[in-house]
Amino acid sequence: MNVALLFPGQGSQYVGMGKSLAENFLESKRVFERVDEALGENLSKLIWDGSEEVLKQTQNAQPALMATSMAAIEAARAVGFDFGNVRYVAGHSLGEYSALCCSGAMSLEDTAIILSKRGKAMQSAVKSGEGAMAAIIGISLEEVKEAISNILDHGVCEVANDNEPKQIVISGHKKKVEKALETLKAIGARRAILLPVSAPFHCSLMEPAVRELEGSILDLKLSNLNIPIVSNVSAKEMLDPKEVKVSLIKQITHPVRWRESISYLSVEGINRFIEFGAGKVLSGLVKRILKDPIISNIGEFSDLEKLREE
């Protein structure tokens, strides 16, 4: 079986995630300890016993989700999962960093540190209350693009995520995003709702974050990838560390092309998808992109049974 490993992005986090892995596997517990040491803070206490409000803050959620994903990977290794069948890795937004860590391209410590920086830079790129993101359900990417291009108000409103055939996320100035919601409902969107996020990610308003992070990303110690990664930006595979760095910089202001990424994996012969980390968001998206995919998610101790071959 040809396997792709998937890694979730922001929004999948929840208090207590990964705790059962750390309680049952020393390898998983050590992941959280190493992330705490790298960041110089007790992030694991926040993950397991903190408040939802603090955990969802971007600078906390990003390294926390990565740590949970990598704890799940280590648990899978501990129970003997055969990584020899893994042909690709892919991650949604910050999940790309988890995928790179899994592929052997980045150390766990470096991944935690860059994600903490990334979270802070993206959070501070736009003043609080000025930006917004919204999910559009029930109409196509082309319909969304055409509708928002016809809104003449000054300001930014762009596609941020192409998640699946009928789920698009837009991002930009709050007033323009709100106007876009009215337009999109009028042309047939089944739902068009503001998302509870703290900044307008994956649009041109994130340019200050690019300026802040570009040097740190270019300075990353990135080894050759043992497993190809499918890029959010191009929806195609990458192996060259230089290309990966350029993509990570572009990713901050460019849309996440998740639908196309999953379609690419399918065309490349992937017939089993495993989501490693918190929640089941990506599993749900894959089910709506492909017909009858074999997919499972590994985020807690009780999930490890799913690693048995179908």
84-136 pLDDT per residue, tens: 999 999 999 999 999 999 999 999 999 999 999 999 999 999 998 899 999 99
- Same domain for 27 and 117, yes or no, is yes
Q: How far apart are the C-alpha atoms of 107 and 242, rounded to whole Å?
A: 17
Closest C-alpha to 258, from 233, 277, 280: 233
Based on the structure, what is the number of domains in the chain?
Answer: 2
Q: Confirm if 87 and 2 have CB atoms less than 8 A apart.
A: yes
What CATH number is given to the structural domain containing 289?
Answer: 3.40.366.10
What CATH number is given to the structural domain containing 151?
Answer: 3.30.70.250
| End-to-end Cα separation, the chain, in angstroms | 10
For residue 309, is pLDDT > 70? no
Q: How far apart are the C-alpha atoms of 180 and 108, rounded to whole Å?
A: 40
Percent of the chain scoring above 90 in pLDDT: 93
Looking at residue 308, its pLDDT comes to: 67
Of 178, 197, 216, which residue constitutes the final position of a domain? 197
Q: Each residue of 220-238: pLDDT tens digit?
A: 999 999 999 999 999 999 9
Q: 20, 28, 69, 93: which one is catalytic?
A: 93
Q: 202, 231, 254, 261: which one is catalytic?
A: 202
Q: How far apart are the C-alpha atoms of 231 and 251, rounded to whole Å?
A: 9
For residue 79, is pLDDT > 90? yes
Q: Is 173 one of the catalytic residues?
A: no
For residue 182, is pLDDT > 80? yes
Beta bridge partners of 296: 274
Looking at residue 152, its pLDDT comes to: 84
pTM of the model: 0.95
Calculate the dihedral angle through the C-alpha atoms of 112, 118, 120, 122, rounding to the nearest 10 degrees: -150
| Higher pLDDT pick, 309 / 38 | 38
Name residue 306's amino acid: K
Q: Is 93 one of the catalytic residues?
A: yes
- Same domain for 229 and 95, yes or no, is yes
Q: How far apart are the C-alpha atoms of 115 and 31, rounded to whole Å?
A: 15
Q: How far apart are the C-alpha atoms of 288 and 304, rounded to whole Å?
A: 24
- Same domain for 185 and 276, yes or no, is no
For residue 141, is pLDDT > 50? yes
How many Cβ atoms from other residues are within 10 Å of residue 24's Cβ? 17
| Mean predicted lDDT score pLDDT of the chain | 95
For residue 310, is pLDDT > 50? no
Tokens of 217: 């990303």
- Which single residue is written with the structure tokens 């910050």? 94
For residue 306, is pLDDT > 90? no
Tokens of 114: 């860059």
- Same domain for 229 and 176, yes or no, is no
- Same domain for 79 and 166, yes or no, is no
Q: Each residue of 248-304: pLDDT tens digit?
A: 999 999 999 999 999 999 999 999 999 999 999 999 999 999 999 999 999 999 999
- Same domain for 92 and 192, yes or no, is no
Expressed as residue numbers, the domain containing 144 is 131-197
Strand ranges of the sheet holding 157-164, from the earlier edge strand across to the other edge: 157-164, 167-173, 131-137, 191-194
- Same domain for 173 and 302, yes or no, is no
Angstrom distances, CA of residue 63 to CA of 35, 115, 303: 8, 5, 22
Percent of the chain scoring above 70 in pLDDT: 99
- Same domain for 12 and 83, yes or no, is yes
Q: Each residue of 8-22: pLDDT tens digit?
A: 999 899 999 999 999
Of 180, 197, 214, which residue constitutes the final position of a domain? 197
- Same domain for 244 and 117, yes or no, is yes
- Same domain for 119 and 140, yes or no, is no
- Same domain for 16 and 105, yes or no, is yes
Of 197, 217, 235, which residue constitutes the final position of a domain? 197
- Same domain for 169 and 290, yes or no, is no
For residue 41, is pLDDT > 50? yes
Looking at residue 1, its pLDDT comes to: 85
pLDDT tier at 42 (50, 70, 90 boundaries)?
very high
Beta bridge partners of 274: 5, 296
